[in-house]
Amino acid sequence: MSNNRRKLVPQCSKALESMKYEIAAEIGIVPSGSLDLNSEFADELGGQAHGHSHNIDWGSVSSRNNGYIGGSITKRLIEQAQKSILNLN
């Protein structure tokens, strides 16, 4: 399997990062490290809203939970695309 992390639309990085934290907060997953987040989910994750910290360790989150977060992101992106397509017709 390829380990290609190049994004097709690099401008979406912030939106995907925000979605990752949103889903993690919804299911109660808290990565270890400094939780200094700039999002409405900072309180849910136990952080303070000042800006994204680069010290967050997602390695402490189990593979299963990381996979669940990634799958949920994919599911939401597909739902958004389907809604967008239906609105065009």
User: What confidence tens digit (pLDDT) does each residue in 21-75 have?
Assistant: 899 989 888 777 645 454 555 555 555 444 444 567 788 888 999 999 999 999 9
Cα 76 to Cα 71: distance, rounded to the nearest angstrom: 9
Among 74, 18, 66, residue whose Cα is nearest residue 42: 18
Q: What is the pTM of this model?
A: 0.65
Q: Look-up: residue for tokens 């639309």?
A: 9
Every domain of the chain and the residues it spans: 11-88
Task: For the chain, count helices (H), then strands (E).
Answer: 3, 0
In the structure encoding, which two tokens stand for residue 67, read together? 């996979």
Picking from 10-19, 23-32, 45-54, 80-89, which range would have the lowest pLDDT averaged per residue?
45-54
Select the more confidently predicted residue: 7 or 55.
7
